[in-house]
A and B are shown apart, each in its own frame.
Chain A
Amino acid sequence: MSVGSYVLRRLLLLIPVLLGLTLLTFTLTNIVPGDPARLAAGPQASDEMVEDIRREFGLDDPLPKQYLNYITGVFSGDWGRSVLSRRPVTTDLRAYWPATLELVLASMTLAALIGIPLGIISAVKHDRWPDHASRVYALIGVSLPSFWLALLLQWFVALKFGVLPIGGRIDSMVGAPDHVTGMYVIDSLLARDFEALRSALLHLFLPALTLSSGALATITRMTRSSMLEVLGQDYVRTARAKGVAERVVLTRHALRNAIMPTITMMGLSLGWLMGGSVLVETIFDWPGIGLYAVNSALTLDFMPIMGIALVYGVVFSLINLSVDVLYGFIDPRIRYA
C-alpha cells in the first residue's frame, strides 16, 4: 500500500472515532446535576432571565436534537458558544491554542535536547555511575507531581530570587509581538523584536521546564534501552573492528537504528504533555487551552469542554498518524498496511 492511500485510510478510520468522542463528551456534559443557564445568569437573576439564556443557547431542546445540532454545527465551523465568555468556542480555542502549542513544543524540545544525549551517555556507561544516576533521576522525574514542582520552582526561582517571572506569557511593558502564529517566541523572531523574544523566552522557561520533567525521564530511558540493544549488534562490532571512530559508530551506526522507539515515545509524549499542561498552565497563569479547560470545568461550561476534547482528539490522532508515517521514512523496511 502506498503512503497516500495508507494515510487516507487512517483518516477515514478517524471519523467514527471522533464522532464517538463527541457523543461521549455530549453524554458526559449532560448528566450534570447543575443548571448551566442558572450558573451563567448568576445568583441574582430572575427566572425569566434564566429562561432567556436557556433559549439563547438552545438548552431547552430535547437532547437528541441538541446533539444533532451540535454535530451539524461542528462541521460548519459552529462549535457552540461559551456560556462564561459569551464568545464562540472556536474563537476562544483559536485564542488559547497557540499558547498551549508553544508550551508543549518548548517542553518537548527541552526533553529531547537533554534526554537523548543523557540516554546515550547512560547506554555507553552502562552499569556505571552515570547510568545509575540517570535511572534514579528518571524514576524521580516521572514520580514528581508536576503541579507541586511548578509551585516550588515558582517559589524558589521566581519569588525568592526574582530571576524569572512568576507567570504569564510576556512582560506587559513589552507587549505581545504582531500576531502571525500566536506563538510569541516565533512571532517575535519574525518581527525581529528581540526585547519581546527575551521576555517571551524568560516567561516560557519555568513552565516548559516543569512540564518537560516526565517526558525527559521517559525519553532518557527509552533512548538508553534501545541504544543498549543496538550497541550489542554485530554491525556495531563490525564498524568498531574496521576502525570507525567511536563518535561515528555511536551516531551513524547506533543512534540511527536506535532512535525509532524514542521518536514514538516523543510522539506519544506530545499528547501526554498536552494533558499535563492543564496543571502547569493553572499555576503559571499561562493563557492556554489547559487553563481554559480548568475554568470551563469548574463553571460547568459545556460547549468549551466538548470543543477542547474534540481539538485534543483531532491533534492527538494526527500526531499518532504522523509518527506511524515517519516510521516508514526512517526505516524503509516497514510497509504500510
Chain B
Amino acid sequence: MKRAGTTEGLGRESTAVDTAAQRTPAPLATRAGTSLWTRRFRRFRRNRLSVIGAAIIVLLILVAVVGPFVAPYPEDATGAVHMSQRLRAPSMDHLMGTDEVGRDVFSRLLIGSRLSLGAGLIVLVVATVIGTLFGVVSGFFGGKVDLLVQRITDVFLTVPGLILAMAVAAALGPSLVNVVLAISLTWWPGYSRLTRGEVLRTSEEVFVEAARAIGAPRHRIILRHVLPNIATPILVKSTMDIGFAVLTLASLGFIGLGSQPPTPDWGKMIADGRGYLPESWWLTVFPGIAIFLTVFGFNLLGDGIRDVFDPRARD
C-alpha cells in the first residue's frame, strides 16, 4: 500500500479535485444559456461561509493597497519614537493604542498588512512555480528522473517545514527577503507531490493518448493538454495556502528570524508586545486578530472554491 504525499502538512492537506467536468478537455459544455462560470458563481454564493471569506480577503487586499495612505500616523511604521505617547490604551486618537515607544498600533497594522499579504503571495508564487515544474517533470518523464525528483522531495518533506525554514532564515540572516526565501524553499514539495499525482492521472486520459497517437511533441502535450487540466487543484491549494504562508511568516517574525525593526511585521509586533502583556494587552491582541483573520479568510475562501470545482467534496 503506497500513499502519495504522506508528509503533507496538517491544515494544508492537498485538495485533489477530480470532477467529471474537469476531466473533459476544454472547451466545457454550456447548457441552456447558463455558462459554467455563472453556475460556479451561484454555487459559491450559496455557501455563506465562503462569501464571508471572500469579503474578508477583499477587505484585506483593500487595506493592503490603501493602508499607507489612510493610516493616521504613517510615520509610525518606520523608526518614529514618541516617548510621551508610550503605552496608551486604545482611544479615539489611537484606535488600537500605542506601543512601547509611542507608535500607533493601528497604523502599524495597516501598513504591515501590505508586507504580510505581499510576502505570503510571493511565497506561494515561488513555491507553486517550482513545485509544479518539478511535479510535471517527475510525473511526465517518469523513470530515473521521477525517482530522483521524488527522493529530493522526500528529503524536504521529512522535516517539519517550520524547522527547515528556521534553519534557512537563521543561516541567511534575519530579514524580510530572506525569510520569504526560506519559506518558499520549504513550501514547494507539497506542490511537487500534488502536481505529480495529477499529471500521472491526466496522462492516462484518452485525450492525452490521442495527442500522443497523432504525434504531438512532448512539450505540446504538456502545455496544451496536461497543464490546463491540472491547473484547478493547484490553484485551489495555493489559495488555501496563502493564509498559512502569512502565518508561517508571522511565526518566524515572532521567533525573531523575520524582518527586523522597525518593520511592522505582525509576528514581531506580538513578540514585542509580549513583555507588556498583562497591562498593555492591545499590543498583542490586535496583531493576533489580524493574522487570524487573514488565515481564516483564505481558509474560508479556499473551502468555497474547492466546493465550486469539486461538487463531490460537498458531503
Residues of A within 8 A of B138 (CB): none
CB–CB B278/A159 < 8 A: yes
Q: Which of A48-56, A113-121, A309-317 interfaces with chain B?
A: A309-317
Check B303 for interface membership: any CB of A closer than 8 A. Answer: yes
Which parts of B135-168 form the interface with A (CB within 8 Å)?
151-152, 154-156, 158-164, 166-168
Secondary structure class of chain A's binding surface, majority of residues:
helix
Name, among A16, A126, A215, A294, the residue most crowded by chain B CB atoms within 10 Å (CB to CB). A294
CB–CB B278/A144 < 8 A: no
Tell me the count of chain B residues lying within 8 A, CB to CB, of chain A: 57
Tell me the count of chain A residues lying within 8 A, CB to CB, of chain B: 69
Cα distance, A274 to B162, chains bound together (Å): 10
Q: Which partner residue on chain B sits nearest A33 by CB separation?
A: B173
Q: Which partner residue on chain A sits nearest B2 by CB separation?
A: A337
CB–CB A34/B173 < 8 A: yes
Contact mask for chain B residues 208-251; partner A; CB cutoff 8 A; 1 contact, 0 none: 00000000000000000000000000000000000100010011
Q: Which of A61-69, A76-84, A327-335 interfaces with chain B?
A: A327-335
Check A272 for interface membership: any CB of B closer than 8 A. Answer: yes
CB–CB A126/B284 < 8 A: no
Cα distance, A275 to B163, chains bound together (Å): 6
Query: Contacts A21-B155, A279-B254 given: A28-B1 contact, CB under 8 Å?
Result: no
CB–CB B49/A136 < 8 A: yes
Which parts of A291-337 form the interface with B (CB within 8 Å)?
293-294, 297-298, 300, 305, 308-309, 312-313, 316-317, 320, 323-324, 327-328, 334-337
| Cβ contact of A145, chosen from B170, B251, B277, B300, cutoff 8 A | B251
Cα distance, A254 to B80, chains bound together (Å): 62
| Cβ contact of A151, chosen from B247, B251, B255, B274, cutoff 8 A | B274
Q: Which partner residue on chain B sits nearest A144 by CB separation?
A: B292
Residues of A within 8 A of B155 (CB): 17, 20-21, 24
Query: Contacts A18-B158, A275-B162 given: A143-B167 contact, CB under 8 Å?
Result: no
CB–CB B299/A142 < 8 A: yes
CB–CB B10/A21 < 8 A: no
A and B contact pairs by CB, cutoff 8 A, 20 listed: A18-B158, A21-B158, A32-B171, A139-B300, A144-B292, A145-B291, A145-B292, A148-B287, A155-B277, A228-B315, A268-B7, A272-B9, A279-B162, A297-B170, A298-B255, A298-B257, A305-B170, A309-B164, A312-B160, A316-B160
Q: Lowest 8 A-B CB distances belong to which pairs?
A: A275-B160, A148-B288, A272-B10, A297-B170, A143-B296, A20-B155, A143-B295, A313-B158
